[in-house]
Every structure is written in C-alpha cells, then in structure tokens.
C-alpha cells in the first residue's frame, strides 16, 4: 500500500493517479476532501487532515509499504524552516512507528548545503532527519527549478513587459517540468529498487540561462524582444511581498536561494548525466505557457 502526501498538488496527484492506474492500493492525504474526489473516484482511500498533526500523520502511514513524502509550501509562514522541520519530524516518526520500508522524499537541488539555500534548507533538514532511519530505504529526489515557476512571471510580463528576479540572467540553470518529476517518482515507487539512503537529481533536458528563458518564452507569446532583468535583493523582496501571497520570511528565504544560485553553491553538487536528464524541453513548455498567458487578463 502506498501513502501519497500532497495528493492534491501538481506532483502528488499525478503520482497517485498513475499508481491507481497500475492497480496499486493508494491512500491519499490532503486537507481538502473535495480536492481528493477525483482520486477517490478512481479507488484511492482518502485521509483528510493536517501534516502538522503528529497523531494524524502516524495514523495516515499505518499499513504502508511505501510513501511519497513532500512538505507542502505555506508561503505565508513567518518561520517556514520551523514549519518544515515539524512536518519532517512527523514523517520520520510515522515511518519509524509503522515500519514503512520505502520512502521517496521530494527534496530539491541545493538541499546538500543544509544551510545557505534559503527556502530549500528545510528540505535539507528533511533529508538529514531520514538519515536516522537505518532500516528504511530512502530515495531523496532533488529536482531543479520547476519550469512551472515561470507562471509567476505572467503579471510582470503583462504589466511591465519584462521578466525578472534576483537570480543572475547569465547563469545556466537546470529547469525541469513538474510532470517529469512525477514520472521519475512513479517509476521508483513502482519498482521499489532503491536501497539504503540515496540521492537522485531530476534536471530537465539541459541548462538554460534566464536570458535564454526570456528569449524562448518571448517568442512563444509573441513578444520576441522580451528581456530579463536582474533585480536587487531589496527590490525582489519588496515585489514578492507586494503580491500579498508571500510573507516577509518567505521573501527573504527566496533571496537566500537566489544568492546560492548566483554564487554557484546551490549548483555544485550534481553532474548532468543521461539518467538524470528528463525529456520535456523549455520550448515545449513555452507553448503551454503561451496558452496560459493568453487567458490571463492584463
């Protein structure tokens, strides 16, 4: 039996649906019963509750052979790392007490630093906590920057005619599509061939700079002159907070991650290989982005 946390999210939902399609017994965890209805209709067992609730998580993991564990982002948190640590501890305790033998963790590029990667540091904690469990097979999936994060640039493009962030525009970055991350997790969960405590990077097909991202996205949306602008950390923080969807703490953590990208520390632990390169290209994603962009009113 598989337990899937974050089952209403972009990655967890895809994983759960495919496991059900493969005839697996699946328990899906979420806070909103309505958002789980589609998976329940396909045969999933729903568990409605909060991952911050220690006893709930223990019950949710009972009887599981394998689990997919991800920490849901609370972008309005005033102490996000503390929140991440709470959920991570709940996962570890639930896995230990229920004797779960296989766990796939959704971590991130930069988690190897443990400190200095901002919003990713809590995922480093998650990895570190699971190192305590010597009799559990743990696979730490470290995807790179999501292509889907580019949707957050839509308003800026429409309002200001640019793309921008605190990340340098000339740094080659691995970008990956969410669906490709889910596919890797699905394959590992079905096979259950991983042993010990291991790390697997999921990097997309190639590295691209933000300058190149702006060119490719610009061509897709009919703005071939679209430019990328690097913001100061002060302006990036201010802009993030002005959206109303991001706390000051989260904005600061995003800046720390940007700095770790800029100085290369978040990017120095992996080596691109055929095995960790996934198929969806930025050009393919840009076509999907363009359809979304067209549907948004300026």
How far, CA to CA in Å, does 184 sit from each of 178, 206, 208, 226?
A: 10, 17, 21, 33
SS3 247: coil
Single pTM value for the model: 0.96
* Average pLDDT estimate for 7-23: 96
Strand partners, 2: 26, 66
Strand partners, 174: 207
Instruction: Give the total residue count for the chain.
Output: 298
Number of C-alpha atoms within 13 angstroms, CB side, residue 81? Answer: 18
Question: What is the DSSP code (8-state) at residue 267?
Answer: G
CA nearest to 180, candidates 279, 79, 294: 279
Tell me the per-residue pLDDT of 236-259, one tens digit each, with 9 for 90 and over.
Answer: 999 999 989 999 999 999 999 999
C-alpha–C-alpha distance, residues 44 and 64, integer Å:
13
Helix (H) or strand (E) holding 180: helix 178-191
Q: Please write down the long-range contacts of 40-48, taking CB distance under 8 Å and 24 or more positions apart.
A: 42/17, 44/7, 44/16, 44/20
Q: Where are the beta strands (DSSP E) in 215-263?
A: 227-230
| Average pLDDT score, the chain | 96
Domains of the chain: 2-145+176-202 (3.40.50.720), 207-295 (no CATH)
Judge whether 15 and 68 are in contact, CB under 8 Å: yes
Tell me the per-residue pLDDT of 17-73, one tens digit each, with 9 for 90 and over.
Answer: 999 999 999 999 999 999 999 999 999 999 999 999 999 999 999 999 999 999 998
> Does the structure show a pLDDT above 70 at 203?
yes
C-alpha–C-alpha distance, residues 136 and 192, integer Å:
12
Question: What is the DSSP code (8-state) at residue 64?
Answer: -
CA nearest to 21, candidates 51, 49, 5, 44: 44
Give the model's confidence band at 296: pLDDT under 50 very low, under 70 low, under 90 confident, else very high: confident
Tell me the per-residue pLDDT of 112-166, one tens digit each, with 9 for 90 and over.
Answer: 999 999 999 999 999 999 999 999 999 999 999 999 999 999 999 999 999 999 9
Give the model's confidence band at 298: pLDDT under 50 very low, under 70 low, under 90 confident, else very high: low
Q: Where are the beta strands (DSSP E) in 135-261?
A: 137-143, 145-146, 162-165, 173-176, 197-202, 207-208, 227-230
pLDDT of residue 263: 97
Judge whether 95 and 56 are in contact, CB under 8 Å: no
């Amino acid at each position: 039996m598989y337990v899937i946390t974050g089952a209403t999210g972009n990655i967890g939902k895809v994983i759960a649906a495919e496991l059900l399609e493969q005839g697996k017994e699946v328990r899906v965890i979420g806070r909103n019963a309505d958002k789980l209805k589609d998976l329940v209709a396909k045969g999933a067992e729903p568990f409605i509750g909060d991952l911050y609730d220690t006893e709930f998580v223990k019950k949710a993991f009972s009887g599981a052979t394998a689990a997919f564990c991800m920490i849901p982002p609370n972008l309005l948190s005033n102490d996000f790392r503390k929140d991440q640590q709470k959920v991570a501890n709940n996962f570890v305790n639930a896995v230990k007490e229920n004797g779960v033998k296989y766990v796939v963790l959704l971590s991130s590029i930069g988690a190897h630093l443990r400190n200095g990667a901002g919003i990713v540091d809590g995922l480093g904690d998650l990895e570190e906590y699971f190192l305590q469990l010597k009799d559990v097979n743990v696979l730490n999936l470290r995807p790179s920057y999501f292509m889907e994060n580019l949707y957050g640039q839509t308003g800026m493009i429409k309002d200001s005619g640019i793309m921008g962030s605190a990340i340098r525009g000339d740094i080659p970055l691995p970008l990956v599509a969410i669906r490709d991350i889910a596919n890797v997790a699905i394959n590992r969960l079905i096979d259950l061939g991983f042993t010990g405590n291991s790390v697997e990077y999921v990097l997309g097909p190639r590295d691209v700079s933000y300058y190149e991202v702006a060119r490719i996205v610009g061509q897709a949306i009919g703005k071939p002159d679209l430019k990328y602008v690097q913001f100061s950390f002060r302006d990036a923080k201010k802009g993030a907070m002005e959206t109303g969807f991001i706390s000051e703490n989260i904005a600061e953590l995003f800046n720390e991650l940007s700095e770790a990208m800029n100085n290369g520390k978040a990017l120095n632990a992996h080596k691109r290989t055929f095995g960790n390169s996934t198929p969806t290209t930025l050009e393919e994603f840009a076509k999907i982005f363009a359809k979304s962009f067209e549907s948004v009113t300026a």
